[in-house]
Chains A and B, each alone.
Chain A
Amino acid sequence: QVQVVESGGGLVKPGGSLRLSCEASGFTFSDYYMTWIRQAPGKGLEWVSYISSSGVTKYYADSVKARFTISRDNAKNSVYLEMNTLRAEDTAIYYCARGGWLQINDYWGQGTLVSVSS
C-alpha cells in the first residue's frame, strides 16, 4: 500500500535551518511528482513546493522562494525540503504528498511539526 512518512521537524530559532525528509513506499517513486504543503496552527493549507519525477523541475511558493530548496533521491524513494532563514511564520505542520501539477495529490503523510521560536 502507498505510504508517505515525513520526519525532521522540530523547534528551531528564527534565522535557523532545518531539513525535512519524506520517505515513500508502495509505488514507483520515480514516476511521480512530490509536493510539500504546510498548515499553520489553526489555519488552512498552503502549498510550499513541488518537484518533478526526475528532479529537474522545481516550483516554489513566493513565501518560501530563495529560502527553501526541494530535492529528491529516487534511489532512496525520498524527497527533502531544506529550509533556511526560518521565520516565525514558517511555523506549521509540513505535509508531504504524492503528485503535483499534472498528477493529483492523492496520498499524504501525517505531517511533521516545525516550530520557529526564540
Chain B
Amino acid sequence: EIVLTQSPATLSLSPGDRATLSCRASQTVSSYLAWFQQRPGQAPRLLIYDTSNRATGIPARFSASGSGTDFTLTISSLEPEDFAVYYCQHRSDRLTFGGGTKVEIK
C-alpha cells in the first residue's frame, strides 16, 4: 500500500512569498501524481496532473516536479487566493491522497 506524506503540515507565508510543498511516497510511484487545491467550503480543484502538467486555467505561478518517491509543488509568488489546503494524489489501481498542507497567511 502506497502512503503519501506531505510536508510541512502548515506553511505560514506572506503574499508574494514563494511556497514549496513536498509530497513523499512510501515507495517508488509512477508519474500519475496530481496536486489539488481546496479552499474553505469548496470542492478540491485540480492544479497539476501527471507530475508536472498544469490543468486548464491554472496560472503559471503554479509548477511541479518530481519522480520516484519525491514530488514538489511550487507557487512562485503567493496571491491572496492561494491561501488554501493542498493535497497530492497518486493514481494506480488504488487512489491515494496525502494528508494535505495548509498554506496560511503569516
CA distance A106 to B56 in the complex (A): 9
- Interface positions, chain B 58-106, Cβ under 8 Å from A, are 87, 89, 91-100
CA distance A55 to B33 in the complex (A): 24
Residues of A within 8 A of B49 (CB): 104, 106
Q: Does the CB pair B87–A47 fall under 8 Å? A: no
Q: Give, as a whole number of angstroms, the nearest-CB distance from B34 to chain A.
A: 6
Q: Does the CB pair A104–B46 fall under 8 Å? A: yes
What is the number of contacts between chain A and chain B, taking CB atoms within 8 Å? 57
Stretch at the interface among A10-18, A66-74, A75-83, A108-116: A108-116
Whether, in the assembled complex, A21 has its beta carbon less than 8 Å from a beta carbon of chain B, the answer is: no
Stretch at the interface among A23-31, A84-92, A94-102: A94-102
CA distance A110 to B38 in the complex (A): 12
Q: Does the CB pair B46–A47 fall under 8 Å? A: no
Q: How large is the interface on B (under 10, 10 to 19, 20 to 34, 35 or more residues)?
A: 20 to 34
Partner of B91, one of A45, A100, A109: A100
Q: Give, as a whole number of angstroms, the nearest-CB distance from A94 to chain B.
A: 11
Q: Does the CB pair B44–A45 fall under 8 Å? A: yes
Contact with B along A32-49 (1 / 0, CB 8 A): 000101000000111100
CA distance A47 to B49 in the complex (A): 17
Partner of B94, one of A45, A61, A107: A61
Residues of A within 8 A of B99 (CB): 44
Q: Does the CB pair B91–A102 fall under 8 Å? A: yes
Residues of B within 8 A of A45 (CB): 36, 38, 44, 87, 89, 97, 100
CA distance A100 to B94 in the complex (A): 9
Interface residues, chain B, with chain A CB atoms under 8 Å away: 32, 34, 36, 38, 42-46, 49-50, 55, 87, 89, 91-100
A sample of 20 inter-chain contacts (CB < 8 A) reads A44-B100, A45-B87, A45-B89, A47-B97, A61-B94, A100-B91, A100-B95, A101-B91, A101-B95, A102-B32, A102-B91, A104-B49, A104-B50, A104-B55, A105-B34, A105-B46, A106-B49, A108-B46, A109-B43, A110-B42
